[in-house]
A and B are shown apart, each in its own frame.
Chain A
């Protein structure tokens, strides 16, 4: 949130879509020419963040996702520690409900025999993504404003340059990071179950037989690569779009009482609808992961 009174809608939206990026500081020495200062710091503009290149990190995404992941692990670990097979406490009941749900889903979609990884993987994905998506329901300005004001009080920085994107799953880094891990697991199980030869044969001899080997390789490689991309980008796209709608609704608040009240109604409506989306996206990510790992277990 910019502190100047003359912020435009475009500026507001852009501000909300910028991550808090930590990396090598760059300054624009001339128009379009950026030079590194060699110092470590937060990017003060989207252009500077771009200039930081690959070796920079989105602190807001990491912070929120680790916080939420830690929360999730703390909750489930505390339940697991005090669990009894007798009459469950309400907390235990809640955790068990989720676990049973995941377990049923895994049992329904996964046919690769005994695998100790798939179910915990499904649980981690579902709950973590759900919590990250849930941040979308927090009013868009609430946490960024708190962080910006806090930073300006604590460190004396200009709050208009403090970016904070609250929903980690609207950062493609977060979703693609998870998709990469899933991709890695797919490859691992493909090699483990089918063997190197078997996996390579699957990539090169299907679907058209050995006489169309190059076509097969291209097709199967695209199929294989499409999986992690579709996983990560689907979640990112959905959450990004949802967040965008929230931001657009939020820009209406400055347009007077009437439009502001309409915006309030819209926000409530969209938030209610979004509850469905965030759960659904978490569920889809989980089910697809299970299905992909199941496919890695299938011998042809």
Chain B
């Protein structure tokens, strides 16, 4: 247990070890540690960003779905409206057509009736005349018969 040159030897060895450690050991290890810290921080930030983006995308998807639903609803109501319109239109069409047909039919009927009446009238005339001729051939009383005829004609 004497103080001797070991003191100096130890001091020199210690200095050499410190120098070695300072130059070849500490910097690469601490650099790697810092780098890993940065990597982890970056990774966490990226994860956070990804999560955020996913949230945004989800929101966006929801919005798109919502819009699509709205659009679909609109289309359906439009279609229903259009269908109703078409039905109404066709009903109207049918009604007017029917009315038209009815009117024309009535006109025709009227026409036919008029024609028939005219024909009838003319035929009645001729029948009357024929009848008159027949009567005339027996007795002619112009006066009386003309009155009779006139009365007949006016009644038609």
Hey, which bits of chain A sit against chain B, CB under 8 A? 17-19, 21, 23, 49-50, 52-58, 61-62, 65-66, 69, 72-73, 76-77, 79-81, 83-86, 95-96, 99-100, 103, 116-117, 119-121, 123-124, 128, 168, 171-174, 176-178, 180-181
Please determine whether B30 and A103 come into contact, CB atoms closer than 8 angstroms. yes
- A53-B28 Cα distance, complex, nearest whole Å: 43
8 residue pairs of the A-B complex, CB under 8 angstroms, read A50-B2, A55-B4, A57-B9, A76-B25, A85-B33, A120-B21, A120-B22, A176-B7
Give the chain B neighbours of A172 by CB distance below 8 A: 1, 3
Q: How many A-B residue pairs have CB under 8 A?
A: 131
Interface string of B1-30 (1 = CB under 8 A from A): 111111111110111011011101110111
Q: Pick the contact of B10: A84, A124, A177 (CB < 8 A).
A: A177
Q: Is B32 an interface residue (CB 8 A)?
A: yes
Nearest neighbor of A50 in chain B, beta-carbon distance: B2
- A123-B14 Cα distance, complex, nearest whole Å: 12
List 10 additional contacts besides A83-B29, A177-B10; criterion CB under 8 Å.
A19-B6, A57-B9, A73-B20, A76-B21, A85-B36, A117-B22, A123-B25, A128-B14, A173-B3, A177-B9
Please determine whether A85 and B39 come into contact, CB atoms closer than 8 angstroms. yes
Give the chain A neighbours of B28 by CB distance below 8 A: 80-81, 83
Q: Is B53 an interface residue (CB 8 A)?
A: no
Hey, which bits of chain B sit against chain A, CB under 8 A? 1-11, 13-15, 17-18, 20-22, 24-26, 28-30, 32-33, 35-36, 39
Interface SS majority for chain B: helix
- A86-B127 Cα distance, complex, nearest whole Å: 129
Nearest neighbor of B37 in chain A, beta-carbon distance: A85
Nearest neighbor of B19 in chain A, beta-carbon distance: A120
Give the chain A neighbours of B32 by CB distance below 8 A: 83-85
- A21-B17 Cα distance, complex, nearest whole Å: 23
Please determine whether A177 and B17 come into contact, CB atoms closer than 8 angstroms. no
Please determine whether A73 and B21 come into contact, CB atoms closer than 8 angstroms. yes
Q: Pick the contact of B4: A56, A72, A76, A99 (CB < 8 A).
A: A56
